[in-house]
Amino acid sequence: MKDLSKNGLASIEYPSGHTDYLDVAVRCAVLTGVNQTSLKAQEALAEEMGCDLVDVTAHSGARTGVGIANHAGWQGKRYSRSGTDQKHPSLVSVTGYGTGQGLGGWNCRHNMFPAFEGTDPPYTQDELDDLNAKKHEYNGQKLTEYEASQVQRKIERNIRKWKREYIGMKAAGQPTDEAAANLAHWRKVEKDFLKQTGLKQQPEREIVEGFGRSQARCAVVDSVRKSDIINRPPSTAGGHISPESRKSDVQFVGRIDREIFKVVSDGITTDEVIITDERIGNILDRHPKDLERYQKYLREIIETPDYIVEANKPASAVLLKEFEENGKKFQAILRLHTNLDDPANKNSIITFMKIREKEWKRLLNNKKVLYKRV
């Protein structure tokens, strides 16, 4: 079941033996077909104008290879359609026009336009060199845009793979936490990659049929549940985890220092802090990226807040903490469990988010500060 969910139905097999998922094959066929139609229109225009020469377009990220498969090598130059011009090379021989590997072939984005002798070439050599330069850096390695795009395609393939497994395991009634955790991992890899290289996310390449906003939300909840930051078994020091806090819809976060939190209430009955799946869902709705990106900070915010600020509701507190290594500031609202509450409940996270400097100052200036860490 896991193999089928992860791999899907790779039902398109090419003569070379390579197989593609149906969505990948359809995308390739549509884009290639549209570009080939455009090339045929330009070829017809050149024929009508009695023009033997054509200028081939160029773009950054052109693929590299050997012979006609080396699009970065032949792009941006002038060619003879007939191959008889003494000054300009043959279009078909050099670019492989009309073949799968060459100009207008599989996933090719290059085009051509009629050209006349005596006019300037489409690009200078310096411009072409710049298009093929190693402009991007990832994990200390310099990459051309094509090389960087191949890393990005790998990341996108893994995102689609784990989305497919999540859908399949969910439909089969099997645990989805592994797929959710791997999906979250590749999301983080993608975020780091885009930050380092300066490239843009291409969400259309990550689409998997049947995986929409609802599934994405559930997958994040599952990944948070599997995290070793949230739901890590607590130590026996200071008490034990009750059966209620082991329920699948309640995740253990950490422990508060009850002495510190006496500034909020003298009747606190437990140091255990939990977060419910309902609250996780609420945080995801209001602050979609914060929990997934910053959940590693949540335990420390609970255990060693910089400030405890008076909240609007009784037995509740606003916790503020700044992390010096990155300057990020966070706010969490904690509902404390007191001797007036249902004994089965625990201290509970109500919400959690990253906040800006302006909001940080507003809370400290306009609210009553109950505690400040020295």
Give the pLDDT mean for 102-116. 95
In this prediction, residues 249-265 reach a mean pLDDT of 91
Euclidean distance between CA atoms 81 and 97, whole angstroms: 10
Share of the chain above pLDDT 90, in %: 64
Is the per-residue pLDDT at 40 higher than 50? yes
What does the mean pLDDT of the chain come to?
Answer: 87
- Any idea where the domains of the chain sit in the sequence? 2-133, 138-225, 233-372
The pLDDT-based confidence of 7 (bands split at 50, 70, 90) is low
pLDDT in tens, 155-202: 999 999 999 999 988 888 888 888 988 998 999 999 999 999 999 999
The 3-state DSSP class for residue 55 equals: strand
Q: Check whether 374 has a pLDDT greater than 90.
A: no
pLDDT given at position 4: 52
- The two tokens of residue 280 are 């996780």
- 232 — pLDDT class (breaks 50, 70, 90): very low
Q: What is the pLDDT at residue 1?
A: 53
* pLDDT of amino acid 2: 58
Q: Tokens 């780091």 identify what position?
A: 192
- Return the DSSP state at 68: G
Check whether 291 has a pLDDT greater than 90: no
171 vs 283: CA distance, rounded Å? 26
Query: Could you identify the residue written with the tokens 């998997």?
Result: 208
Residue 295 has pLDDT above 90, yes or no: no
Whole-angstrom Cα distance, residue 363 to residue 372? 13
Residue 230 confidence (pLDDT) above 60: no
The pLDDT, as a whole number, for residue 246 is 40
Question: Which pLDDT belongs to residue 277?
Answer: 82
